[in-house]
Amino acid sequence: MSADHLPLTVVWAYRRTGKFAFHVLTGALETDARTAAVPVVFANGVEAMVAAIGDARARGGRVLVGWSFYSPDAAAMTAELQAVKARIDDARVLHVCGGVHATAEPEATLRAGWDLVAIGEGERLVRDLVDCVANGGEPRVLPGIASLGPDGTLKKNGRADRIALDDFPPFGPEHGRFGPIEITRGCIYACRFCQTPYFAGANFRHRSVANVRHWVRFLVGRGFRDFRFLTPTSLSYGTRTAEPDLAAVEELLAGVREEIGPARKLWFGTFPSEVRPEHVTPASLALLQRWVSNKTLIVGGQSGSDRVLASSARGHDAACIERAVALCVEHGFLPHVDFLLGLPGEDEGDVEATLQLMDRLVARGAKVHGHTFLPLPGTPWQKAAPGALTAEVRRKLKNLASKGQLYGQWEQQEVTAQAMAGRRSSR
């Protein structure tokens, strides 16, 4: 056997934020005859990665180290990559980075030290990449792979094809790696601050009810008691437009309930997904009341200023957020409303409108989830100024937080936003 045909081990740089993406990629490898037997190791942190790569090298052959993370974690992950490479410098070890950040910033990612970038959705590409490397092929020519040429210029082969969710498992069952079932990918809304539509496309692709039920049944068989779903907008299940298809949502929820029975928990419209405020109606709430276990609904609000909502292309106004909260409370749900502070173009009046709306929502019984705007790569606002809060805004938010009416990472995100903008301008 030549050195090029020695066995391959896949090591995932398995950090918390990218965790479910690795489960999905593992499921894709498990379900392709070409890659099902390739060993996959989940290594969390530098020491675990060095150990996993060392073990794989001791067995001979090549090692593909897969990375995936969100833009705010790019600096920390780059430091981890450099720490791993400082300990193991071996041409048989290939560091590949995929996901939303790497797709939006392939050149910066390659210049930071990754050997290859996987552009676009990973399920099909990871199979082709692993098969190619395992057989001693040249991964740089694969569609969806970007690399730096010998002269240091970026070489891109387009992006990986978008997939149909039904064609892939929602996690890695053979490796016992589970997570929420992704029911919808892509988003028809194009909120200017959000990476989702720019990465996954500006239309909805839904997992079929039959396929969701298949995986729910599988999880029931494994003893799971809680069932969660991943979607950019929960009440958009089954539709292709901005108009919800409540019959499709009901078919999904009734089907899942039939699989899990009355005692297990069905979480929908809450973590890790949310509902858009204009989709909150007496009819949709009655439907949720009938089928779901959660009493909390996460509602995307983002701003109390109609001007800022319009400029960020949210597709609803502030009154709509207030109506949604009132309806949630009337129907016995506790609304948690997401807000983004420091959005581009916000003036004092806009900020005041947001703070006043927060007060009114809290008075109605809602909780506020505060975020600070991050200029995310790949979005129309990637070059905008990072979200910054005035001392007065911070004081008001802390006051709400002290009463248990607001929570979130808004303070840390303000620091992260500044750091992201600093790195952007230094490139």
Q: Does 66 bind ligand SF4 (CB under 6 A)?
A: no
Which of 195, 106, 202 lies closest to 379, judged by CA?
195
Binding mask 250-269 for ligand SF4 (x = CB under 6 A): --------------------
Q: Does 374 bind ligand SF4 (CB under 6 A)?
A: no
Binding residue (CB under 6 A) for ligand SF4 from 18, 61, 106, 197 = 197
Whichever of 131 and 278 has its CB closer to ligand SF4, that residue is 278
Q: Mark the segment that binds ligand SF4 (CB under 6 A) among 28-36, 191-199, 287-295, 385-393.
A: 191-199
Q: Mark the segment that binds ligand SF4 (CB under 6 A) among 64-72, 171-179, 186-194, 318-326.
A: 186-194
Binding mask 298-317 for ligand SF4 (x = CB under 6 A): --x-----------------
Q: Mark the segment that binds ligand SF4 (CB under 6 A) among 145-153, 193-201, 367-375, 408-416.
A: 193-201
- Compute the distance between CA of residue 157 and CA of residue 399 in angstroms, rounded to an integer: 51
Q: Mark the segment that binds ligand SF4 (CB under 6 A) among 69-77, 168-176, 194-202, 250-258.
A: 194-202
Nearest approach in angstroms of CB 299 to ligand SF4 is 11
Nearest approach in angstroms of CB 73 to ligand SF4 is 19
Q: For residues 25 and 169, is the Cβ–Cβ distance under 8 A?
A: no
Binding residue (CB under 6 A) for ligand SF4 from 232, 269, 370, 386 = 232
Q: Does 189 bind ligand SF4 (CB under 6 A)?
A: yes
Q: Mark the segment that binds ligand SF4 (CB under 6 A) among 183-191, 259-267, 363-371, 397-405.
A: 183-191
Count the residues of the shown chain that bind ligand SF4, applying the rule CB under 6 A: 10
Q: Does 187 bind ligand SF4 (CB under 6 A)?
A: yes
SS (H, E, C) the chain: CCHHHCCEEEEEECCHHHHHHHHHHHHHHHCCCCCCCCCEEEECCHHHHHHHHHHHHHCCCEEEEEEECCHHHHHHHHHHHHHHHHHCCCCCEEEEEECHHHHHCHHHHHHCCCCEEECCCHHHHHHHHHHHHHCCCCHHHCCCEEEECCCCCEEECCCCCCCCHHHCCCCEHHHCECCCEECEECCCCCCCCCCHHHHHCCCCEECCHHHHHHHHHHHHHCCCCEECEECCCHHHCCCCCCCCCHHHHHHHHHHHHHHHCCCCEECCCCCCCCECHHHCCHHHHHHHHHHCCCCEEEEEEECCCHHHHHHCCCCCCHHHHHHHHHHHHHCCCEEEEEEEECCCCCCHHHHHHHHHHHHHHHHCCCEEEEEECCCCCCCCCCCCCCCCCCHHHHHHHHHHHHCCCEECCHHHHHHHHHHHHHHHHHC
- Compute the distance between CA of residue 183 and CA of residue 273 in angstroms, rounded to an integer: 11
Whichever of 130 and 280 has its CB closer to ligand SF4, that residue is 280
Nearest approach in angstroms of CB 298 to ligand SF4 is 11
Q: Mark the segment that binds ligand SF4 (CB under 6 A) among 6-14, 66-74, 182-190, 282-290.
A: 182-190
Q: Does 194 bind ligand SF4 (CB under 6 A)?
A: yes
Nearest approach in angstroms of CB 290 to ligand SF4 is 25
Q: Mark the segment that binds ligand SF4 (CB under 6 A) among 87-95, 133-141, 192-200, 348-356.
A: 192-200
- Compute the distance between CA of residue 420 and CA of residue 219 in angstroms, rounded to an integer: 39
Whichever of 204 and 215 has its CB closer to ligand SF4, that residue is 204
Q: Does 375 bind ligand SF4 (CB under 6 A)?
A: no
Binding residue (CB under 6 A) for ligand SF4 from 184, 196, 270, 273 = 196
Please give the residue ranges that form the binding site for ligand SF4 (CB under 6 A). Answer: 187, 189-191, 194, 196-197, 232-233, 300
